[in-house]
Structure formats: structure tokens, C-alpha cells
Chains A and B, each alone.
Chain A
Amino acid sequence: MATMVSTRPVRSTGAGTGPKVPGPNGNGSKRHDGFPDPDANWNRYRIGMWVGLASVAMMFTSLSSAYIVRSASSNDWAALPMPGILLASTALILGSSATLEVARRKLKAALSVPYTKWLFVTVMLGLGFLAAQIFAWRQLAGRGIYVASNPHSSFFYLLTGAHAVHLVGGLLGLTFLWLRSRRHVIDKTLIARRKAATDAVSIYWHFMDALWIYLFLLLFLWR
């Protein structure tokens, strides 16, 4: 029990590692008096979203690595021509990120009517993106290019399809925010919660935007 022998008893403050006063409560709160702090409490939406996106990123990393390996593993790779409509999708989704950012600013400035409006515009742009993607798939299918036609088309359908599925999730989130935004809230906790939810959905939506740009470049530059 030699480890037990102490020379200088001091008041424990977390065995040498913790802060000197009972630390910030784990909620990440900056306040020491009350608990729970509403803002810190809803922080879990933001944290949870970043954590979830790490796993989404990992899945697309695995698919991209498969893409790169497969493109180099044989000579049956026949690159698709880029469907022109994809430029329109790109513009739509970039635009939707911008309008969402405007909506978020409006919410911060407590302007609830413009917030609702800009959310609605974002949802419409998102639906436009989806429509453009569906148009691109149908165009390719019309030219006789299907999932199994060649490895590049397989990856094209897979990657754009997986992106679209994730995007639909984002659209549901946006629609949910939009429906909720028409309800007037004054309670502090609920306002904090609305901000956190809007932040979380925005993080997701911007991620989908960036992911699309990445996939677009991967599919049509790396081939």
C-alpha cells in the first residue's frame, strides 16, 4: 500500500487534474450558479449533429475509396459524359445554403416572419435540387445508361443516390423547422431550443452542400 502514503494533504480538487473549483458542469455551461443552463443544455443538438456527420463522412469516404480503387483496377471503366442539368443542381444547392444562412441570421435577430419565409425558400430550392437530380437520372436512363452498364455509371447512381437519400433527411429537417417556425414562442428555453435546432439543421444542410460539390468533382474530374 505504498502508493497510499502522502506527504502533503491538500483539499481534493479532482486529484490534481480537475479545475480548482467544482468544475463547469459538464453541460459546457459557463455559469457556475444555476443548473441547467438552457443554452448549454440544447447544445446537444449541435454536438450530436457534428458527431452524426462524422459517420456520414466516413461512409462517403469508404465509397470514394472504393471508387478510386475500382477506377484503377481494370480497363472496363468508361467515364460518363456529365449530364448538363447537374450544373443547375449545383447552383440550386449552393443557393439553398445561402438562403438558409439568411434564415438563421433572421432567427438570431429575433425576426420570426422573415425567418419563416427564408426557410420556405430554402425548402423549395432543396426540392429543386432533388428534381434536377431525378431529371439527370432519367436522362441517363433514357440514353440506355443504367446502374450496371459500367463501373462509372454504377458509382454515379450509387453516390448521387446515397447523397439524395441523405438530402431528403435534410429536407425533412428543414420542413420540420418551417412548420415549427410558424408557432410563436416567447419562453427562453424554447427560443434557445429553436436556435439550437436551426443550427443543427443548418450544419447538416451545409454539409450536404459541400458533399455534393465534392462528389461532383470526384465523379467528373477523377475519371
Chain B
Amino acid sequence: MSETHEGVHRHPAPTGFIRKYIFSIDHKVIGIQYIMLALAAVVVGMLMSLLMRLQLSWPGTDWPILGTLFPTGAPNGVMNPEFYLSLVTMHGTIMVFFVLTTAPQGGFGNYFLPIQIGAEDMAFPYLNMLSFWVTLVGFIVILMAIFVEGNQGIGEWFATLGPSFAGGSGTVGPIGGWTGYAPLSALGKIAGPGQGGGMNLWIISIAIFCVGSLLGALNFITTLLNMRTKGMTLMRMPLTCWAWFTTAVLALLSFPVLLGGGILLLLDRVANTSFFIPGGLYVSGLLSGSNPNFPLHTGGSPILWQHLFWFFGHPEVYIAILPGMGATSHILATFARKPVFGYRAMVFAIFAIGLLGFFVWGHHMFISGMSPYSAIAFSVLTLSIGVPSAVKTFNWLGTLWGGRIRFTTAMLFALGFVSLFVAGGITGLILGQSSLDLPMHDTYIVTAHFHLVMGVASIFGMFAATYFWFPKMFGRFMSESLGRIHFWITFAGVYAIFMPMHVMGLMGMPRRFSQFTEYNFLVNSSGLVKLVTVAAIITIAVQFVFYFNVFWSMFKGERAGENPWEATTLEWNTPSPPPHDNFAGVLPVVHHGPYEFAVPGAPRDYVMQTDVDVEVPSGNGHNGKH
């Protein structure tokens, strides 16, 4: 039922193990490499969150292993505040950069964007390989930060690179939060524990990561613009492709700003400049200029760092979540057996979110002393993002309405995504108003908000994508029964972790504090704090069911055919797993929109994009007319 035409593949299939699986230029292998990187990074990030929760619930407890591993950070096994703060920093950095910016875009985007537009690979396969390896180096450097700060010997040895590289403060890495606010982050070792060589490595790692992401973004954009197959017009692309494309544009324009800021910050640390360091600073009992270890600084602007950081930081949260939105739209339509409701509106909403995302960074800085007029402007712009977000939400609900829903695990996670996006988005509308944000800033309300809407929602998008595309990637299904266990416990678990945090936030519980037992106004919170920790332990434990499911199913899962979900887009037109050049030398020709389900009069309840001789009524599918 389909028509094809000859394609010319630019590179032959590799034969040796190394060219095939390690230094591969095949976008599918690179995609899996990115996913593996994220799977490794998320374990580190998760274990760190577990340590933080243990500390918050039972401060002062002796954890013998910690005492052995980090004699200075956890003397006698009791975590000290600096140790906690470095955990916060590394957990946030690893989660945001190495999990949420790698798997959704570099992982699934890399694997499926070329296939979904009918291309045989990315536009620049070698560049693609380079992006991954650069990103991996970034990850190795951030792990090095742990050892440089955590171990006295390594920390001192590192000082051979220059005085500002000396580490060994006994924490688990730098202290600065994932935002690395100046001036503390700009001063060097004299500013206290976690400010030595580990902070240099933190900045260098982020800079390397920026370069890797930029190369990736360039490749995505060029591929999408130049490599679509015959008949694949822009408005026939699956929404996933629109999401990856917009994400790439956001990355392309926001990462350079972080890179620029990172260079300035590093220069302040290693070359004694004063970009972000103000004059007359008094830190650790020393006045700037009064001591050879703390040379004179004048006139820098710490707020400048905040602007540069958040100009990147806000688009970054969309970089994390847009691919999840794309996957959710795709999966909801497939399992509701209905066209995506309002395809065009969805495309415009993705664009609107991306565009507005560049003008709202100030909502992270309401308490920085900005003029109330700017604050109002930033508030209004922030709230206006609610409009396209609501369009997306209502269109997801519209897609479900009246559908013959198939509750697969992928579908459950996509529904979970919608639920979390709404639950976390609501508090965004509150925090976006400067007058309300002033008292709530840096409390657990913020922690609850961004974990729900950015952290866990994106992760749910990736879970949905994994269960959905696994049969295509490995030719085998993941276990649905393990999947259901994974879904229900995780779904209940994340709500149990993050809902109580709203209450804690309203009590005034501050973010980035290692212990709350000293504050009278928080004495009533200890039950909730422990509840959250227990929920976190259970949620983290059940993730190992997921890991088991992934690796077990790769070899033992039930075999899947070419189109096991009866879906419509091009990735389901090729064997599972797809051959090296995706379509075995013949590129598909596209005749239909991406979500032609339940077409009246068609032989099946779905029309694949490549089907010929099928009439699709003009009212069906993505122009959404009745």
C-alpha cells in the first residue's frame, strides 16, 4: 500500500564493533548512547536526592559509609551542611543538564527525527557523533568535580593546574546550586568549602556541555529543514518533530548566552577580572584587596550573572519539556485512535511557548531589586505563556475526548505527563506574579513547582517515549505488567513527594537548607518531611523495576513487528529495529498528515502517511474542521 523511491545512502553500514557501537555515526546508535548517558546520570542524581532526603528527615544520624567515603564532608558519618549543599548543587546540575537535556533531545530526538521525516541519517553524521562525545566529556568533568572537592589528595594535586584549581574541601563537589550565583561562585577557594577547583570544573563542564548541545541543535535544525522526504511538507510532520525542532532553536539561541556568561565567570576566578565581583566585598573575614589570596576587585555586577544565567535558564526548562510535549501528543493520538485535536494550534502553541520563553527570564529575579515596572512586564509576559500552555492542555483533552482509548503503559505515562504538567503549571501562575513570588521565592513552593512541571513531567514524557518506541528500537516489547507496576507506584510516589512540599513552602520552609529542626515555625513540619522521604525511597526503589524491564526486555521481551501499535508515522514503515540507513535504500513517499486515525471509509481505522489509494476526507486529521 505504499510507494517509495530510491534513496542514496551516504555512508555504508560499518562492520567492526567499535565503528558500529562506540564511534558510530549512525543517528540511531548515537541516540541510544545519549539515552544510556542519561540513564547513568539519573542514577547519580537520584542517589544524591536520596541522601538529601535522609539528611533532611534524620539530621545528625551516623551513616557509616558516608564517613568512610567523605571523612571531611561527613565526619563520623554525620553529614555537615556544606556536604548537603554540594549534594543540592550536583543533583540539580546533573538532573537538568545531563538527564533532561540529553535523553529527550539528543536521545529520542536523534533516534526518531530522521526516521519520522524520512531521511537516512542526520544532515551531518560526524558532527552528530562529536556532539555526543563532547557531551560525555562534559559529564566526566562534572564527575571529576566530585573527586576534586571531595578528596584532599586529588584536590591538592589539582592545584598544579593553577592556584584557583586547588580543591579538597571535603564536600561532594562545588557549592553554588545549579544556578551558580555570583559573587560567591566567582571568588575562588577563599569563599569557603566547595568554592575551589570543583567550581572551576563545574563551569568548564557546563561550557563543554553548551558546545555539545550547540552542535546537536545545529544538526537537528539543518536536518529538519533539508532532509525531509518527498511529500513530507512541514504541516505533515509529526508533532514530535515540531517539538524537537523548536527545542533545537531554543538551545541554539540560549546556550551561547550561558557559554558567554560561563567564560566571564571563569575569568573572574582564574584571571582575577571583575565582571561579576563588586567592590568592597567582605568574605570569610577578609576584605577584598587586603590579602594576597583575595586581590582587589571593583565595580563588577553580580546581577549581570543572574541575567545571563536566566536568559538561558528559562528557555532551558522548555528545552527539557518540549520533547515530552511532542511525545505526549504523538502517543495520545495513537492510543486514543483519534487525530490530534487542533494540529495547527498545537504547532503554533509550541512556537508561541518557545518564543515567549525568551522574554520571561526576569521572573526568576523578582527579589533581585529590579524595578517594579520591569517586574510587572515580566509578570505579564510570564502569565501570557499560560495561553499556549492551556491550548496544549485542552487539545490533549480534546484528543482524548470520545476516543477508543487503549491503556498501554506508554499511554498511562503520557496521561501522567498531562496531569503533572497541569499540577505543576498551576503554581507557575502563582509564582509568576511578582507580588506573590516575593514571599514564596526560595521556599519549598518553588521546589515543588519546578520538580512537578519540569523535572518529573519531562521524566514522564521520557518514560512514555521509552515504552512506546522500545519495540521499534529493539524489536521487542517491554513487559506491560512490570510497566504498570512502575507507572502506578511512580505516579502516586511523585505526587506524595512533591504535593506536601507546597504545604512546607507555605509554612515558610526555605530551599537549600540542610536542616529544619532549629526553627520554631517549622516544628510541625517534621511529619511531612519524613513522609516525603519515605515516598522518595519507594519511588526511587521502583525505578529499578524500570531498569530491569529495559535490560531484560532487550533480550527476552516478546517480539514486536513493524507496526505493533497500529500507528501512522514513518518510523512504523520500516523493520524493528530499522536497518542502518533506516529504509533499506528506498525512501518512503508521504501522502497524508501524521495522525489520520479513524478515517471514515478507510480499510483500517488508521491511514499511514505512506498509504496510497486511500481517500482521507478533508475534515479528518489535523486541520480539525468539523
Residue of B nearest to A59 (CB): B256
Residue of B nearest to A16 (CB): B623
Residues of B within 8 A of A26 (CB): 117-118, 225-230, 232-233
| Distance to closest chain A CB from B257 (angstroms) | 4
A contact residues, range: 35 or more
Query: Within the complex, which residue of B123, B272, B275, B308 is in contact with A44, where a contact is CB–CB below 8 Å?
Result: B123
| B271/A148 in contact, CB under 8 A | yes
| B124/A36 in contact, CB under 8 A | no
| Distance to closest chain A CB from B561 (angstroms) | 26
> Which B residues between 174 and 232 are near A, CB-CB below 8 angstroms?
214, 217-219, 221-223, 225-232
- Kindly state whether residue A83 has any CB partner on chain B within 8 Å: no
Residues of A within 8 A of B275 (CB): 66, 70, 151, 154
> Which B residues between 562 and 596 are near A, CB-CB below 8 angstroms?
587, 589-593, 596
- Kindly state whether residue A2 has any CB partner on chain B within 8 Å: yes
Query: Within the complex, which residue of A3, A10, A54, A66 is in contact with B618, where a contact is CB–CB below 8 Å?
Result: A10
- Kindly state whether residue B298 has any CB partner on chain A within 8 Å: yes
- Kindly state whether residue A77 has any CB partner on chain B within 8 Å: yes
Task: A208 to B275: give the CA distance in the assembly, Å.
Answer: 25
| A55/B227 in contact, CB under 8 A | no
- Kindly state whether residue B598 has any CB partner on chain A within 8 Å: yes
| Distance to closest chain B CB from A15 (angstroms) | 4
| B257/A62 in contact, CB under 8 A | yes
| A148/B624 in contact, CB under 8 A | no
Most chain A beta-carbon contacts within 10 A, residue among B341, B587, B619: B619
| Distance to closest chain A CB from B240 (angstroms) | 16
| A73/B299 in contact, CB under 8 A | yes
> Which B residues between 304 and 326 are near A, CB-CB below 8 angstroms?
304, 307-308, 311
| B255/A17 in contact, CB under 8 A | no
| Distance to closest chain A CB from B162 (angstroms) | 14
Task: A27 to B226: give the CA distance in the assembly, Å.
Answer: 4
Query: Within the complex, which residue of A1, A51, A75 is in contact with B218, where a contact is CB–CB below 8 Å?
Result: A51
Task: A154 to B271: give the CA distance in the assembly, Å.
Answer: 9
| A1/B6 in contact, CB under 8 A | no
> Which A residues between 8 and 35 are near B, CB-CB below 8 angstroms?
8-12, 14-19, 22-28, 35
| A18/B233 in contact, CB under 8 A | yes
- Kindly state whether residue A52 has any CB partner on chain B within 8 Å: yes
Residues of B within 8 A of A11 (CB): 615
Residue of B nearest to A11 (CB): B615
Residues of A within 8 A of B256 (CB): 55-56, 58-59, 61-62
Given contacts A58-B257, A76-B298, contact A22 B590 (CB under 8 A): yes
Residues of B within 8 A of A41 (CB): 226
Residue of B nearest to A25 (CB): B230
Residues of B within 8 A of A35 (CB): 5-7, 230, 587
- Kindly state whether residue B134 has any CB partner on chain A within 8 Å: no
- Kindly state whether residue A169 has any CB partner on chain B within 8 Å: no
Q: Offer 9 A-B interface pairs, CB within 8 angstroms, sorted by A.
A: A4-B600, A16-B625, A26-B232, A47-B222, A51-B217, A51-B222, A62-B256, A66-B304, A69-B304
